Chain A
Amino acid sequence: MAMRQTPLTCSGHTRPVVDLAFSGITPYGYFLISACKDGKPMLRQGDTGDWIGTFLGHKGAVWGATLNTDATKAATAAADFTAKVWDAVSGDEVLSLAHKHIVKTVSFTQDSNCLLTGGNDKLLRIYDLSSPEAAPQEISGHTSAIKKALWCNNDQQILSAADDKTIRLWDRSSMQEVKTLTFDTSVSSMEYVADGQILVITYGKTIAFYNALSLEMIKTVEAPAPINSASLHPEKDFFVAGGDDFKLYKFDYSTKEELESYKGHFGPVHCVRFSPDGELYASGSEDGTLRLWQTAVGKTYGLWKCVLPEDLGSENPEQLYTSTPEIKA
């Protein structure tokens, strides 16, 4: 029996959701943080979308959000010219790092000891979280606002994407630029996959895959519409993308074939991310919602319950909802 995708809608935000990040897999499952223009980033249980808490403190739109691997810390980047570090268990604000302009992106090192920030002042900053009063190290070079910055190559290098249409690779020790990629148009998103050192970049209708160490192109794929974000499955079987036509697309990574597409959001998709186990992907949209989508449609996982023919008619204490794609929490 063919099954149709039932996305799970997570409501709560009151403005567009612009960034999402999953944690690693912890003894308590995995977690998802959402950055929103309403200034109130939220933490959710990753496999169900259940709200856990809201980080209160920012005084402007939150443009970037991230979790450390074990989801004990969160970091956010906001239009109030601060990046904040939070205790992701209690929800308390731990640090507020003042910047000179809107902060757009934050990233923890694997040991959670350092935080990388970037934003409209065109500088990358590295904060030592064990000495937060100390001045951060600063890396200059971009000629326009930085929209994304990530640690790579075991935190020995940094990748940054900016409105100057470049992606730059920097060496952390020397703070020098190692390589630069230049594009004809602004890069809309960048994701780094440590296992395999793959960089996923989107620009225009293109999803491009690069070697993160050499910045050599592996392959490109064209989507039917302008794409704002893409994410590669942990097993590298698939990748998903979302953009201006409100749809989510799933492609086969090897063959580049478009496998599935789903309409569900009521506005452009700003961000899409695979969960760390690859069983689902989350999308954030201009419509103010996050949606969770199954990688394998019909599989029993999280809140999705596959009803087999032999289950029908038997005593089943669980209440099941069969709903149309447009359902809301």
Chain B
Amino acid sequence: MATPVPVLRLPKGPDPNSRGFDPNSPRFIALCRTSISSSAASDTDSEQLQKEQHARSVLREGFLRCLLSMTNKKVQFQMYENVKVEATFGASDIDVLNFQSGNFLGSGGGCWAYSYLIRRSPVSFSGLMQPRPLNLNSLKHLN
């Protein structure tokens, strides 16, 4: 009777809370490194580091102001199979992967109480008050 080949472990599966591409992986650090980490501050030009930190804080502030301005605004989630759901926007995480929204209104007129919508479902979402869809992805690269 043949013995199955032993394995050290099983392949690692996806992280449900992240899209991956670990910024701490050797490949990412070698090929993608576009900024200086604060832990290396002693090895870098302090003026350069200060400029970078200022730029980071401007981006963070912009991202947070954008989220704040969207709070309590009407948004629309476009789900698969052409289902459109209107809701009141609450908040988003930094990766724009998960949203907190409430007062969902489906096309059939059904209404939910305040609840949590995970972003895996929507195909896209847009603010009804905006003339074109918001693009939070441009602001999400913060460290």
Contacts and interface: CB of A to CB of B under 8 A. Distances in A.
B27 A328 contact: no
B12 A6 contact: no
A323 B11 CA distance: 13
A305 B7 CA distance: 5
A11 B12 CA distance: 9
Residue of B6, B23, B28, B123 with most chain A CB atoms under a 10 A cut-off: B6
B132 interface: no
Interface stretch (A49-57, A152-160, A202-210, A242-250): A49-57
Given A51-B14, A89-B27, A89-B32, A303 B9 contact: yes
Interface stretch (A108-116, A140-148, A173-181, A292-300): A292-300
Given A3-B5, A6-B6, A307-B6, A11 B13 contact: yes
B124 interface: yes
A324 interface: yes
Among A11, A53, A325, the one with the most B-chain Cβ atoms within 10 Å of its Cβ is A53
Nearest to B34: A90
A53 B12 contact: no
Interface residue range, chain A: 35 or more
Contacts of A50: 11-12
A131 interface: no
Interface stretch (A193-201, A233-241, A313-321): A313-321
7 contacts: A3-B5, A8-B10, A50-B12, A59-B124, A90-B21, A91-B19, A319-B8
A12 to B, nearest CB: 4
B5 A294 contact: yes
A28 B27 contact: yes
A89 B31 contact: yes
B4 interface: yes
A101 interface: no
A48 interface: yes
Interface in A274-302: 292, 294, 297-298
Contact of A320 (B6, B23, B123): B6
A306 B3 CA distance: 11
Interface of A (DSSP majority class): loop
| Pairs of residues from A and B, 10 with the lowest C-beta to C-beta distance, nearest first | A53-B20, A49-B11, A91-B21, A53-B21, A4-B2, A2-B2, A50-B12, A12-B14, A6-B5, A28-B27
Contacts, number: 121
Interface string A87-129: 1011100000000000000000000000000000000000000
B12 to A, nearest CB: 4
Contacts of A2: 2-3
A51 B21 CA distance: 9
A72 interface: yes
A47 to B, nearest CB: 10
Contacts of B32: 87, 89-90
B109 interface: no
A87 B123 CA distance: 21
A175 B71 CA distance: 53
A325 B5 CA distance: 10
A324 B4 contact: yes
A70 B2 CA distance: 38
A76 to B, nearest CB: 14
